[in-house]
Amino acid sequence: MLTIGKLGEAAGVKVPTIRYYEQIGLLPEPDRSAGNQRLYGQSALDRLAFIRHARELGFPLDAIRDLLSLSDRPDQSCAAADVIARAQLAEVESRLARLTALKGELERMVVQCAGGRIADCRVIEVLGDHSLCATDHQHPESEAAS
């Protein structure tokens, strides 16, 4: 049996994050010690490692919730899991495309900056005038994972 600290260490997840996952129902409420401290077994560790790995791959918690409930029913079709993974892949690809365009624009901007006064600064100028841009860079929307 692991305390929450040991569990976090084993799974590479911070302690408050584990409590947060429990709070939002991603992890079941564990048994408690006589002194009311959480105690976890192997299944909690497996589940938390799964969550962490999916987070690393950028899956949102809602998708992870679905994936977890799928993995709890091993006999069903994996089509649903495939759909979720493909959606995540599409999301990553679209973010990649936007970021690539941004990178080009930022590079152009930085390279052209001659290092003089603000009044001549290419960075400030480009920011103030979108028509100086090569692309139509639409907002890079994204998402985090710790």
Partner DNA sequence: CCTAAGGTCTCTAGTAGCTATAGCTTCAAG
Partner DNA sequence: CTTGAAGCTATAGCTACTAGAGACCTTAGG
Rg (alpha carbons) of the chain, rounded to whole number: 23
Please tell me whether residue 62 binds DNA under the rule CB under 7 A.
yes
Q: Which is nearer to a copy of itself, 20 or 33 (CB)?
A: 20
| Residues at the contact surface with a copy of itself, assessed by CB under 8 A | 46, 49-50, 53-58, 67, 70-71, 73-79, 81-82, 84-86, 88-89, 92-93, 95-96, 99-100, 102-103, 105-107, 109-110, 113, 115-121, 123-124, 126-130, 133, 137-146
Nearer to DNA, 29 or 75 (CB): 29
Give the DSSP H or E segment for 40. Answer: none
Which of 29/75 has CB closer to a copy of itself? 75
Q: Which SS3 state, helix, strand or coil, does residue 47 take?
A: helix
User: CB neighbours of 146 closer than 8 A, spacing ≥ 6?
Assistant: 14, 17, 55
For residue 74, what are the β-bridge partners? none
State phi, psi for 39 to the nearest 5 degrees.
-130, 130
Residue 4 near which of a copy of itself, DNA, none (CB within 5-8 Å, type-dependent): DNA
The neighbouring-strand residues paired with 31 are 39
Site string for DNA, 28-47 (x = CB under 7 A): ----xxxxxxx---------
Nearer to a copy of itself, 32 or 99 (CB): 99
Q: Rounded to the nearest 10 degrees, how much is the dihedral formed by the CA atoms of 64, 67, 71, 72?
A: 70
Identify the DSSP state of 35.
T
Enumerate binding residues for DNA (CB under 7 A).
Answer: 3-6, 8, 14-17, 19-20, 32-38, 55, 60-62, 143-146
